[in-house]
Structure 1
Amino acid sequence: MTRLAFFDTKSYDKFWFDRLKQDYDVDIHYFESKLNENTAPLAKGFDAVCAFVNDHLDETVINALSENGVPLIAMRCAGYNNVDFKAAFGKVHVVRVPAYSPYAVAEHAMALLLSSVRHTHHSYVRTREFNFSLNGLVGFDLFNKTIGIVGTGKIGRVFSDICKGFKMNILAYDPFPHPDFDGEYCSFEDLCKRSDIISLHCPLTPESNHLIDKAALETMKDGVVIINTSRGGLVDSEALLEGIRNKKVGAAALDVYEEEGELFYEDRSNTILEDDTLMLLISMPNVLVTSHQAFLTDEALHNIANTTLENIKQFREGLVMDNEICYRCDTCKRVLGQRCF
């Protein structure tokens, strides 16, 4: 039986992992704390750790896990920008869940877009106080608007299909165009200039960090709407705030934030936030922030648990792990029948 140390546990995590763990012969010990250099020693004696997007898997943590005999990090998410892969290579294997439900994320992106342009979140608050005025709630049709989709992986393509249902004009930018994408590819600069709405569906890499910055915002249409359900670091938050203040940005809907690590997934309602930028963004009437919940559907949670446990099973049985990743995976072709190392 594999002993799994599960970090940053929430109640919704346990439901499917507890239902499926017996099928995979896995014993799970749940820790509420995030995985970081202070909590890494808790993993001593375990066969694997399960981590999430806001856990800290830097060189110090990787070395601590390795020294404590932990050979596997099972990320229960698609993103992995919080993992030091060079430190992990040759010491600790890393697996992930590359696709859990592209529909969950794409549908949440559309929910954010519709709420932003039709002000349904403001209307909800008003009517609970018996304020039925329509002043300040004027939106705009999505019909015939141009939406720029950055990233045409599974989520980006599902989101594009949803947008087609609204009869929107589809532009896309991706350094690796997908042959099945039904839309017009263009440069990122051209997308910024032509789009009424821009939605981000790409991973966070050194190349994409602050993809939307002051310079990019200056090239966009006045009143542009920006949607981000991918990674917070794709958007320079200070530049976005300035764009909102000077009315270059008509609305922003964010499910992620670049400094979300110690904030999102937690109840901070009784504390004063020290992040002035986030406080100012949330205070803006044309900004909608959700707490990294785009993935949060029952179907997605089931798929995350199932794939994570399957990854662990493949490691335990000495099989090639379908979802293993390392720092060389972007530049090499894995030898058939072999692991990353």
Structure 2
Amino acid sequence: MPSTAQDTATDRGRTRVVFFSTQPYDRRFFTRINDERFVDDGFDLVFSRDRLTVESTALAAGADAVCVFVNDDVSAPVIEALRAAGVRTVLLRCAGFNNVDLDAARAAGIAVARVPAYSPEAVAEHAVTMLLTLNRKTHRAYNRVREGNFALDGLLGFTLHGKVAGVVGTGRIGVCAARILHGFGMQVLGSDPYRNPEFEKVGTYVEPDELFERSDVITLHSPLTADTYHLIGKQALDKMKDGVFLVNTSRGALVDTKQAIKALKSGKLGGLAIDVYEQEEALFFHDRSHSFIPDDVFARLSTFPNVLITGHQAFFTGEALDQISDVTLSNLRALVRGEDCPHLV
């Protein structure tokens, strides 16, 4: 059974929003932003740690809106259950919306709004942080020194300056990553169906195959769509240089994990850094340290010394959380007032 949601207020006539998949920081930031900037709008915020599923829609009974995150289920059956509960708005506190059945939402008369960009620098900085850590092995060096081991064997990296970086997806985050990599003195190649003039200031557009063939480092910043699902699979990996480094801070299903494991074993991938994972909803955002991890693919992946994994934290800065809270509640205000909401999907 779903856990009991916790109310901040429940006055009749106010706009009630039930948040799913929340963590303590969600409550802290949304409550503060609501109190500071939206106090006159009468939003009652209700927080639940439960993931949104058909079963947990019972928590939304009597709510005007629900607020969901990347791993919540907003499929057609969930949409129908929300409609029956009286919900008329789905607020995404993230940029991606691949977990939402938009056709079902439109048919049900439910508006869907997102946060299209929140501190893109935060995600780009984390991607480059993972690249630097994996390359120069600072995480391993830190542990060695703490044990009094100052040997350098096994810590050899390579100089980024002069190498080729491939940026797959050149939206706001991809452009931020390209600027950082260009600042390291790397030649930056980009691939995207839609050209961004900001990217062309620091990089050069090429076809995906050329990017895969020429890049020493590849970082993924694409949305997850039918066209990008398992974008990095056997065919793409076969085209890459031996020893290429791959970084994914976008969506887990951009990478075929089983094929990536094969590429790690063969040496095709010299390093893999991921902040997202295709089956992450069963793992991420929870403390699993006191139990075993039932995902055999993830367990295998984590055994490689040249794999670095973080738990979907690329977005996790104070600035980003502040912006997420503000834009999400601004979307709600616009919809409640019947005004144009620029972030509808």
Pair 1:305-2:318 in alignment? no
Specify every segment of 5 or more residues in structure 1 that has no aligned partner in the other structure, as ranges. Answer: 326-341
Match of 1:256 in 2: 276
Give the C-alpha shift of residue 105 in structure 1: 0.2
Specify every segment of 5 or more residues in structure 2 that has no aligned partner in the other structure, as ranges. Answer: 1-13
Equivalent in 108, 114, 133 of residue 96 of structure 1: 114
CA distance in 2: counterparts of 1:54 and 1:127, whole angstroms? 38
CA distance in 1: counterparts of 2:141 and 2:209, whole angstroms? 35
Query: In 2, are the aligned partners of 1:21 and 1:27 still within 8 Å (CA)?
Result: no
Match of 2:145 in 1: 127
CA distance in 2: counterparts of 1:283 and 1:56, whole angstroms? 30
Give the C-alpha shift of residue 134 in structure 1: 1.2
Per-residue CA deviations over 1:58-98 (Å, capped at 9, x if unaligned) read 11110000011100000000011111111111321100000
Give the C-alpha shift of residue 274 in structure 1: 1.5
Equivalent in 67, 90, 96 of residue 79 of structure 1: 96
Query: In 2, are the aligned partners of 1:150 and 1:172 still within 8 Å (CA)?
Result: yes
Equivalent pairs, count: 325
Match of 1:14 in 2: 27
CA distance in 1: counterparts of 2:107 and 2:54, whole angstroms? 20
**Matched residue SS, 2:30:** helix
1:8 counterpart letter in structure 2 = S
TM-score by length of 1: 0.94
Give the C-alpha shift of residue 321 in structure 1: 1.1
Pair 1:3-2:21 in alignment? no
CA distance in 1: counterparts of 2:133 and 2:32, whole angstroms? 35
Which range moved further: 74-83 or 87-96? Answer: 87-96
Pair 1:145-2:145 in alignment? no
Give the C-alpha shift of residue 130 in structure 1: 2.2
Match of 2:258 in 1: 238
1:266 counterpart letter in structure 2 = H
**Matched residue SS, 2:55:** coil
Query: In 2, are the aligned partners of 1:237 and 1:277 still within 8 Å (CA)?
Result: yes
2:111 counterpart letter in structure 1 = H
State percent identity of aligned pairs.
46
Matches within 5 A, 1:168-207: 168-181=186-199, 182=201, 183-207=203-227
Match of 1:269 in 2: 289
1:230 counterpart letter in structure 2 = S
1:172 counterpart letter in structure 2 = G
CA distance in 2: counterparts of 1:127 and 1:36, whole angstroms? 46
CA distance in 2: counterparts of 1:85 and 1:33, whole angstroms? 22
TM-score by length of 2: 0.93
Give the C-alpha shift of residue 180 in structure 1: 2.5
**Matched residue SS, 2:117:** coil
Query: In 2, are the aligned partners of 1:5 and 1:50 still within 8 Å (CA)?
Result: yes
1:109 counterpart letter in structure 2 = A
Per-residue CA deviations over 1:193-239 (Å, capped at 9, x if unaligned) read 00000000110000000000011101100000000000000000000
Give the C-alpha shift of residue 273 in structure 1: 1.3
Match of 2:185 in 1: 167
Q: Runs of at least 4 residues of structure 1 off by over 3 A?
A: none
**Matched residue SS, 2:302:** helix
**Matched residue SS, 2:29:** helix
CA distance in 2: counterparts of 1:180 and 1:29, whole angstroms? 40
Per-residue CA deviations over 1:122-178 (Å, capped at 9, x if unaligned) read 112222222222110000100000000001100000111101110000000001111
Query: In 2, are the aligned partners of 1:7 and 1:50 still within 8 Å (CA)?
Result: yes
Give the C-alpha shift of residue 261 in structure 1: 0.9
Which range moved further: 83-92 or 292-301? Answer: 83-92
Per-residue CA deviations over 1:97-116 (Å, capped at 9, x if unaligned) read 00111000000001000001
Give the C-alpha shift of residue 305 in structure 1: 0.2
Matches within 5 A, 1:10-49: 10-22=23-35, 23-24=37-38, 25-49=42-66
Equivalent in 214, 233, 237 of residue 213 of structure 1: 233
Pair 1:295-2:315 in alignment? yes
1:194 counterpart letter in structure 2 = R
Match of 1:331 in 2: none
